[in-house]
């Protein structure tokens, strides 16, 4: 069996561990052959293919990023896009299956290719946001939380040195898992997430409460957070390849308002792509490796349209449709739990 692997969408720690797990399991257990599509779906559409051997993945689990490259290409666009053209390319190259490692956009495209073209695709969930339904956790999330928590620890010392309010923006387009976990771990005085719009008055109340106790306020905000007066998340960066707004800048918007309303000097920091970089945590290396191994088994079983997933501590299979049919939102109970610690 010849299997093609791609990494698409935003990169994250653990992608290389998936590739390594898949190749090792495929070669050792199934005598499979592997190729990689370079730059995500772009490589599928353009037929940009490189061999991936057991030697190529040696020691790869600790390496951040992706050796195959990634992009936000839509496989249905362009003169070579669409299921018919992709099927012809697979047949010409003798490729029997595609393992698509990606998040919401990548897996939505994978589902369409299966549903509309009957293409042999297996999904692997990848998102630092932890926003995919049908999996308890996705690799990359644990590493991103560790990075964000370290940033909170560092910001706290400089905030206290100047008695300032610090507003840290972390990733989280639709869900606030990174903000919630890092905010709780770092002792943030307020955690602002997309699932829970809040008024500026309430935010300023938390800030003033912290100052009254002689502390320097520290707020963590997810990029997708909306004030209760906002219809959409803040965006001034245009659209991505899937016509979604590129989010970012809510911390920059909030800090001067907080300063104006409270009189407390306020600064903002946007953590941005630092959350995606560097070596994956041990947890993410293990999870990514297990998912890669399970994806190969799904391909051997010809379980097209399925996605490997984490359920508790077990690896299972669900349909890609289940994974992309809804978001893994922060439940009210988890936010209420954290909210007791605000202010």
Give the three-class secondary structure for 319.
strand
DSSP 57: G
Give the three-class secondary structure for 227.
strand
Cα radius of gyration (the chain): 21
First to last CA, the chain: 58
Backbone angles phi, psi at 320, to 5 degrees: -60, -30
Binding residues for substrate: 127-129, 164, 171-173, 223, 267, 273-276
Close Cβ partners of 12 (under 8 Å, ≥ 6 residues apart): 126, 127, 128, 139, 140, 143, 144, 276
Where is 272: in which H helix or E strand? Answer: none
Q: How many CB atoms lie within 10 A of CB 324?
A: 24
CA distance 174 to 1: 38
CA distance 74 to 54: 30
Binding residues for Mg(2+): 104
Choose, from 56, 84, 129, 240, the residue flagged as catalytic. 129
- What would the DSSP string read from start to end of 94-137? T--EEEEEE-HHHHHHHHHHHHHH---EEEEEB-TT--BTT-S-
CB 182 within 8 A of CB 156: no
The β-bridge relationship of strands 49-51 and 33-37 is antiparallel
CB 188 within 8 A of CB 302: no
Q: Is 129 among the catalytic positions?
A: yes
Work out whether the CA dihedral 274, 294, 103, 195 comes out positive or negative: negative
Binding residues: 10, 72-73, 103-106, 127-129, 164, 171-173, 223, 267, 273-276
CB 73 within 8 A of CB 41: yes
Helix/strand/coil (H/E/C) assignment for every residue in 51-88: ECCCHHHCCCCCCCCCCCCCCCCCCCCCCCCCHHHHHH
Residues that are catalytic: 129
């Amino acid at each position: 069996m010849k299997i093609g692997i791609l990494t698409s969408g935003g990169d994250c720690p653990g992608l290389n561990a998936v590739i390594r797990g898949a190749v090792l399991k495929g070669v050792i257990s199934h005598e499979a052959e592997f190729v990689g599509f370079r730059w995500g779906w772009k490589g599928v559409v353009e037929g940009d293919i490189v061999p991936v051997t057991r030697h190529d993945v040696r020691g790869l689990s600790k390496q951040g990023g992706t050796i195959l490259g990634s992009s936000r290409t839509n496989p249905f666009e362009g003169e070579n896009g669409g299921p018919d053209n992709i099927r012809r390319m697979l047949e010409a190259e003798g490729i029997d299956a595609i393992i698509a490692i990606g998040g919401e956009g990548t897996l939505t495209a994978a589902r369409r290719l299966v549903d509309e073209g009957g293409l042999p695709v297996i999904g692997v969930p990848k998102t630092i946001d932890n926003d995919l339904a049908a999996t308890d956790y996705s690799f990359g999330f644990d590493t991103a939380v560790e990075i964000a928590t370290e940033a909170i620890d560092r910001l706290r010392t400089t905030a206290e040195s100047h008695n300032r309010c610090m507003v840290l923006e972390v990733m989280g387009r639709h869900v606030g898992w990174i903000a919630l976990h890092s905010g709780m771990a770092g002792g943030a005085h307020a955690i602002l997430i997309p699932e829970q719009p809040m008024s500026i008055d309430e935010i300023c109340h938390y800030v003033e409460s912290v100052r009254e106790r002689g502390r320097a306020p520290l707020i963590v905000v997810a990029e997708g957070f909306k004030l209760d007066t906002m219809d959409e998340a803040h965006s001034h960066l245009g659209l991505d390849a899937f016509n979604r707004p590129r989010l970012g800048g809510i911390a920059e918007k909030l800090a001067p308002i907080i300063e104006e309303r409270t009189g407390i000097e306020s600064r903002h920091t946007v953590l941005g792509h630092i959350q995606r970089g560097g070596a994956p945590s041990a947890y993410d290396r293990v999870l990514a490796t297990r998912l890669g191994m399970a994806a190969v088994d799904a391909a051997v079983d010809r379980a097209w349209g399925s996605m490997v997933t984490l359920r508790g501590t077990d690896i299972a299979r669900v349909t890609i449709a289940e994974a992309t049919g809804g978001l893994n939102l922060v439940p009210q109970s988890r936010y209420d739990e954290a909210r007791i610690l605000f202010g």
